[in-house]
Structure 1
Amino acid sequence: MTFDKDVIKLLSAGTSLHEYGICNWAFNRRDAIVVLDGFKKLKIPVLGGDVYKFENGNPVSTYENWYCEQFEDESHEEFISRSILIATEFINRIDSKDNSSFFVIVPDRALIDTDEALVELKRHWQVQKH
């Protein structure tokens, strides 16, 4: 499997939010951790994320979020590890006794926005609409 296909497989396992104007997928806690592990293996840092709950079938922001920026003296590998750690810790801290929280993860898109990846992601968006 190519790099782009690995990323697409990880992201498309979530619930598409594209029909709501959000160009990403929402993941339950367990799946979000799987995605983070996948990004770590693929060496993709996570720049941040948001928390949503679904109300009447629509995603609603809880206004909880996190972000991570690379330090000037930090190597790319250190940034990847730290960004994944921050995301994992944040997700595990969110109190959701009823498992109603969903997480939108924002990877460093500069590493995945290739023409092939964008075409494939658009195809997945269309498939999930039907």
Structure 2
Amino acid sequence: MSELGVHNWAFEKAEALEVISKLTELSVPILGGDVYQKRGGEIRPAYDNWYCNMEDGETNSKFAMRSASQARRYVRLYSEPEKQKTLYALVV
């Protein structure tokens, strides 16, 4: 991802879902994420993303659970184009 100026990891769908589960276990909120497409060894932004803000009065642990649920849902439902790998970069 560094060739795009992004200092983060990006994961394919199954890996992203595993990382979301691990972050949930650690009560780490997921603030959002960005989607990238990889085709022929080249990674490009898909210009799709999601975000999750903490609500007033929400505890960190509840925010972590809710944000993980939103991230999980986004990744699961994202329509992945054929002949391209979709990568998800999580923002924590």
Residue 88 of structure 2: aligned partner: 103
State the alpha-carbon separation in 2 of the partners of residues 34 and 105 from structure 1.
12
Higher RCO, 1 vs 2 (CA within 8 Å, ≥6 residues apart): 2
The total of aligned residue pairs comes to 91
In structure 2, list runs of 5 or more residues that go unmatched: none
In the alignment, structure 1 segments of 5+ residues that lack a partner are: 1-16, 108-130
Q: Tell me: CA distance 1:97–1:59, structure 2 relative to 1, closer, same or farther (3 Å).
A: closer
- 1:19 has 2:26 as partner: no
Question: Could you tell me the TM-score, scaled by structure 2's length?
Answer: 0.90
Is the counterpart of residue 82 in structure 1 residue 75 in structure 2? Answer: no
TM-score, normalised to structure 1, is: 0.65
1:66 pairs, out of 50, 59, 67, with: 50
Partner residue in 1 for 2:24? 40
More helix by share: 1
If you compute each CA radius of gyration, which structure gives the higher value, 1 or 2?
1
Q: Percent identity?
A: 31
